[in-house]
Structure 1
Amino acid sequence: MTARAARTTPADIGEGDALPAPAVPLPTVEEPQRLAPADARELSKLFFERLAVLDEGTAEYAYVRNTLIEMNLSLVRFVARRFRSRGESAEDVLQVGTIGLIKAIDRYDVYRDVEFTTLAIPYIRGEIRRFFRDATWSVHVPRRLQELRIDLARAFEELEARGNHDPSAQQLAHYLGLAEEEVREGLLASNGYDADSIDRPLQTGGARQTGLVADLVGADDPALDLAEHVQALKPHLARLDARQRTLLRMRFGAEMTQAEIGNALGLSQMYVSRLLSRTFATLRKGLLAES
C-alpha cells in the first residue's frame, strides 16, 4: 500500500471555516521596488492573502512571493542604514537583510492580526546581526570580551608609542585598571578574532609535510543531530491528537503538499495550512519549555 492509499475521510478532521471566495485578479505592479511605503503596505496585504491560498511550486505562487520580496525591500534598506558604521560592504549587508525578509515572508500568517513589518524588521535585523557576528569573529565569545579586545588593542598602541613594544599582561592590566586575570582572559579570547585557513599545508618543526590542516579536522555528523531532534520530539508528538498526527504523517511521511492533503481530506489548502501552523506551534512551545 502506498502512503497516499491510507487516507482519512473529512469526518476525521472537521473544518470550521468556509471555503475561500474565488480569487480576484491582483493589481499589476510595474516597479515594485519603487512603491511608496504606504502603497507597499496596502498591496502586500492583498498579495499575502493570495499567497496563502496558492499551491507551492506554481508559477503564480513564485510571482506573488517574488513581488512581495521586491515591494518590501525598503524595509531591508531601512534596517541596513543602522549598520552603516560597521565597515562591511553595504551590498553584503543588503543581501543578508534580504534573506531575513524572505524568511519573514515565508513565516507570515496574514490571518493573524499582526502587521507584516512587526514580524519582518526583527527577522531582518537578526539576520544582519548574525552576519556581523559571524563575519567579525572566527569563534563566538562573550560580548564583554569582544569589547575588551578593542580596549586591549588601544592599550597596545599607546604602550608601544611609549616605547614598550611587547607589553605584558601585567602592564596592560595596570594601564587599563583591570585585574591581570581578566586581561589574560581577554588576550586569549582575542585569538578567536582571526583564523588561519584550514587549507594551508601541514607543518611540523618548520618542515612542510604532505597534506592540509583540514585533513586533521573532524566534521559534525548530521545524522547525530537528526537523531537528537527526533528523540526530543517523540514525547511531544505522542501528546498530539489523532488529527494532528495524521496531518504530520501526510505532510512529512508521505511528502504531500498542502494542496494534496486538502484534496485527500476534503479541506481547503488554506485550512490545512492553519492546522499545520497550530501543530508546529504546539511542538515548538513544548521544545522551548524544556530548554
Structure 2
Amino acid sequence: MSDPGTILERPYDPSHDLSREDRRSVTTELCEALADADEVHREALRARLVEVNMGVARAVASQYRNRGIDADDLEQVAYVGLAKAARGFDPDMGHDFLTYAVPTIRGEVRRWFRDSCWMVRPARRVQETRAQVTACVEELVQELGETPTAQHVADSLGIALEEVEEAIAADGCYHASSLESPGGNGVGTLADVLGDVDDGFTRAEEKASLAPLVRRLSDRDRETLALRYFHQWTQEQIAGQLGVTQMQVSRILTRITAQLREGLGDGLRAA
C-alpha cells in the first residue's frame, strides 16, 4: 500500500510530460494511495492525478482539431474532463484510471461541441440522444472497466441501436468543409469530386410516365411519333411515308402531343 504523504512529498514538474510507462506507473501508485487516503489527502492526490495525466487530455483534444475551433480552447475543455474523471473515479472498483478517464475527457469535449459549436445543427431529438449516450458511456466505462459497444449502450438506455449510431454520427456536424479543400486521396479539390445533377433520372421518369400513354395510341399515331422524335424525320418525309400532306402530319403531331400532355396531367392529379 502506498503512503499518500510520501507520494505527495515527491517533487513533480507538471510542465514536463512523463513517458507513457512512467505516467502509467505513477498513475497506478496514485490510485492505490487514493483508495485508502483520508479526505484531505484524497483531494491532493486527485490534483496530482490530473497533473500527471494532462498529456493524455491534450492527446484527446488533438483528435478534434481542424474543426474550426482553437486548439487552446479544446485543451482547456479536455482538462475539465480530466478533472471530472479524477473526481468521479472510484479506485475501489479495481479498474484502470485511464480506461475511465479517456472516455470521460472525450465525452466532455463532445458535450462542449454539442452545446456550443454546431456548424450544422441536427434535430433536437438527436442532440438529446447524444447527451444520453455520452453520459451512459461514462457510467458503463466505470462499471465495465472498458469502452462499451454501441449495442451495450442501446441496451442500457432501452433504445434502438440505430438511434445510438445516429447520435454518435452527429459528431461530424461541427465543421463545414470548404469546397476548395483537398479531394479524395489528395487529388484535386472537394468540389471536383462532387456529383452533378444527372438529367438521366428526370428522363427516366418521363419515359416511365409516357410509356403507357404511348401504348394507347393508334398504330399510325405511334408510327408518326417514332418517325418524328426517334428517327428525326422531317414532316415532309413523314408525309411521303404515310401518304398524307405535310399539313396533315403537322396536325397529327399537334394532336398527339396535346393528348400525351393531357394524359400526364391526369396522372399527376391522380397521384
Q: TM-score, normalised on structure 2? A: 0.42
Return the TM-score normalized by structure 1: 0.39
Larger fraction in helix: 2
Which has the higher Rg, Structure 1 or Structure 2? 2
Higher relative contact order (CA 8 A, sep 6+): 1
